[in-house]
Amino acid sequence: MLLSHIRQCFARSKQTYGSPRIWKDLLEAHVSCGRHRVARLMRQAGLRAVVAPRFRVTTDSKHARPIAENGLARDFSASQANLKWASDITYLWTGEGWLYLAVVLDLFSRRVVGWCMQARLDQSLVVNALQSALCQRRPGIGVGLLHHSDRGSQYASGDFQALLSEQDILCSMSRKGNCWDNAPVESFFGTLKQELVNRRRFSTRDAARNEVFEYIEVWYNRQRRHSSLGYLSPAEFERQALAGATGTARSGDLSSASA
């Protein structure tokens, strides 16, 4: 019976979950079991999560445009949403040629808050991704938001820098050739390639767009358990953080009223 539950969880994850996430799913479904038992049963049944392939990142940093200092300095923590955003670009092969994807992650919850896909790799790709994030999150002017990226020509372009300046967003860029300076976004791309892209053949760009949209908005943001978030999804992590903050504020109001 337990193995049957495990198989269902494994199938729902599209064969991407290992035993820790499967165990969390089972506990949430009120199925009593131990983590080591789940691992043993998965091993015996041959249920193995897909393995991440080697991932190579390319960045066009050979340009004469201004480069920002690395203000993020590998501090990927954030005490609340809309304090630190990180961005990058990757590419997907389709039957019609390359499709480029730019994303914006909120480092508080690792949620993809903005993204854009198009056939051309130019500055409009990253501008549209940032505009998507601004429209969805509406952080406001003067909140101290920091945006981190590599030093590629798209992020150093005049249009992108003008948008950052217009929104009063502080610009931060990785050091040359150092992918670890933007590790959370590289990790997301690795997960995307592992769980979706390398397991599919996209006949058209539209087919790729549809599947990536579903992966990001339906699976990754709202359902996929993130180990660094206590095995919560980004959306659930933000919901619990907001509920906790609201509860604290209400307690403070009650204390003031009592005084």
**For residue 88, what is the enclosing H or E element?**
strand 84-94
pLDDT tens by residue, 168-210: 999 999 988 777 899 999 999 999 999 999 888 999 999 999 9
Burial 65-77 (b: 16+ CB within 10 A, else e): eebbebebeeebe
Residue 62: per-residue pLDDT: 59
Q: Indicate if the pLDDT at residue 219 is higher than 60.
A: yes
55 — pLDDT class (breaks 50, 70, 90): very low
C-alpha radius of gyration, the chain, whole number: 20
Residue 248: per-residue pLDDT: 61
Record the tokens describing residue 20, joined without a space: 């820790």
Residue 43's CB: how many other CB atoms inside 10 A?
A: 11
Q: How far apart are CA 201 and CA 182, in angstroms?
A: 28
What average pLDDT does range 130-141 have in this prediction?
A: 96
Strands 111-118 and 146-149, how do they pair?
unpaired
DSSP category for residue 135:
H
251 — pLDDT class (breaks 50, 70, 90): low
User: Of 182, 190, 128, 118, which Cα lies nearest the Cα of 159?
Assistant: 128
